[in-house]
Amino acid sequence: MRLYVASAGTGKTHALVGELLALLRQGVPLRRMAAVTFTRKAAEELRRRIQGEVARLSSASWAEEAQREVYGAVFTTIHGFMAEAIRHTAPLLSLDPDFALLDELLAEALFLEEARSLLYLKGLDPALEGSLLALYRKRSLAGAFRALPGAEGLLELFQEVLSGYHRRTREALGPGDLEALALRLLEHPQAVRRVVERFPYLLVDEYQDVNPLQGRFFRVLEEAGVQVVAVGDPKQSIYLFRNARVEVFRQTLKEAAEVHRLAETRRHAKAVARFLNRFVERLFPEPERVPVVPLREEEGLVEVHWVVGEGGLPEKREKEAALLVERLAALRGQGYAYREMAVLVRSRASLPFLERAFRALGVPYVLRRGQSFFKRPEVRDVYHALHLALLEGPPSPKERISLLAFLRGPFVGVDLGQVEEALQAEDPLPLLPPEVRMRLDGLKALAGLRPLEALKALVRDEVFLRRLSRRARANLDTLLLLAAEERFPDLEALLEWLKVRAEDPETSELPEGGEGVQLLTVHAAKGLEWPVVAVFDLARHEGGRSEPVLVGLDGEVALEGTEGYQNLRRTLARAQEEESLRLLYVALSRARDVLLLTGSLSERPGPWAEALMDLGLGPADQDPLVHRHPLAGLPPLPSPPLLP
């Protein structure tokens, strides 16, 4: 494997584009390559970059063929590539290639429904559903689970629930199901050869975020003959909760045939680059460091502010927030617009302190919400209902997914166990209860309406609305307003709009209206950058929750209270501690020109505060970057200005 080890802002996408162009110049057609990344938006951006480069080099002998192929070339997500590989080899695996893909939320909901039904029928504790769901979510860690002492019964129950879930979903696959099938593919030599023949060249972006099963998939393909190029930055591996494991990248770094380091940054001003290098040099292992070399001439600015003195941490945080907002207002006076600023936090628990300070000091702000708007349950329910409005004849695998969602959702609200016999049939519609068929007939009437009218009829459905919270109903009003800004020629176009927005986590997350300083978590800021970035509440601890069941990297399953659980808990705690530093690195590296860090002196400093102290930038240090603010000398927060 050829591996590029990057740092933030050093051009990972540019490196992948260069690799693709090099293959084209060697005469490799685009149809023999696959470019894989983590979001559809990133994949399409890569396609656009290649499109532009091909157009620019149109006189080259290979350019004409590349221009024809670029629209159909495989630029996709990891799960999208796995689906391509499975469809290409489906007959060898005794699979129907016309399977549909379940989104993660619906797949989990269907699994939970099966778990609840089984627990009820067996007379077991309903609280077990939490442990069963935890196992379902951890399938990406290992190809198979094995129970440690005390977990045998839970694992047996999980396998029973999983079998029922697979019967219920039939030809529809959730993300974990797709990975499990990809592992089956690897065990079939002829299937592996077919994938190698179809995609002899594979380029993978954001390799630091792959989970163990995905890493195994790429490794076996490489061993079988696929030429793999991967790009990533292990310092930005921050998705432990999604089963990403930086160990996959580290192992690849040890074994890679070629390793290239990307060091030149066009993002960071000199002061920010120096600070990042100081942070990385002190706190990261040598193979992962990659000190950055700034190409910009601007000096930039880095400041570390600490609120010190006697007083409780909540009071200090109030003053820390006010201090930060005043500093941002001063930067606005130096020419930075508020929309060019962002304040990043480790936890949403820090946001109320910031909001009070912004309101009191009259500085505009924009709060990014956590869940993507177009993935909210009520919006997805509308999507599935609209999808069924176009249903003709027995449902296809994709239409069957919408049928499952419609039946179990607030439009109908039936227990899928009551209609299980119907759902197993090739055409379940005639076997459904009369009242359900009546609801489906009502949906078909929407197909004759204009798209916006059809949408309005659904979101005004009285049965639907009665089962929704006030906030969910408000979200549907927002959906109508957003749709009204578009021009949909037909219902299919409206469905495609809803589908694409839901699949793109960056564009589908809607901030509150207005312009101002953006307030968001570090995870939400991944992939973004601003001229001015502030990191607030360095003293914050992340509250660790005790999980009822843990899974190890070798598939070990352990229940809370057992010896095996304690061993896995210690391993997880070390991984979380490491990831905390990577999360701080991601926050710091979002800044282009100005980086501000603020914290409050605490008897129990959080991991970010400890990292700053380790750098010699704590509240007791004399470094020129450090500014101390005694609590007693800070003015009280003014009352918020009255609204006109």
Annotated binding site: 6-13
Instruction: Check if the beta carbon of residue 525 is closer than 8 Å to that of residue 344.
Output: yes
Q: In angstroms, rounded to a whole number, what is the distance separating the alpha carbons of residues 516 and 365?
A: 4
Nearest to 143 by CA among 98, 179, 172: 179
The dihedrals phi and psi of 51, each to the nearest 5 degrees, come to -55, -45
Q: In angstroms, rounded to a whole number, what is the distance separating the alpha carbons of residues 213 and 79?
A: 11
Residue ranges of the binding site for ATP: 6-13
Q: What is the DSSP letter of 287?
A: G
Instruction: Check if the beta carbon of residue 136 is closer than 8 Å to that of residue 191.
Output: no
Q: In angstroms, rounded to a whole number, what is the distance separating the alpha carbons of residues 181 and 97?
A: 12
Residue 641, token pair as written in the block: 């200005």
In sequence order, which ranges of 270-310 are alpha helices (DSSP H)? Answer: 270-283
Q: In angstroms, rounded to a whole number, what is the distance separating the alpha carbons of residues 386 and 456?
A: 11
Residue 300, token pair as written in the block: 């930039």
Whole-number CA gyration radius for the chain: 26
Largest CA distance in the chain: 78
Instruction: Check if the beta carbon of residue 640 is closer than 8 Å to that of residue 359.
Output: yes
Q: In angstroms, rounded to a whole number, what is the distance separating the alpha carbons of residues 643 and 607?
A: 39
Instruction: Check if the beta carbon of residue 637 is closer than 8 Å to that of residue 356.
Output: yes
Q: Can you name the residues that pair with 4 across neighbouring β-strands?
A: 231, 260
Q: In angstroms, rounded to a whole number, what is the distance separating the alpha carbons of residues 464 and 410?
A: 5
Instruction: Check if the beta carbon of residue 597 is closer than 8 Å to that of residue 343.
Output: no
Segment 601-606 long-range contacts (CB within 8 Å, at least 24 positions apart): 601/306, 601/307, 601/308, 601/309, 601/316, 601/539, 602/313, 602/316, 602/539, 604/541, 605/538, 605/539, 606/346, 606/538, 606/539, 606/540, 606/541, 606/542
Q: In angstroms, rounded to a whole number, what is the distance separating the alpha carbons of residues 304 and 538?
A: 10
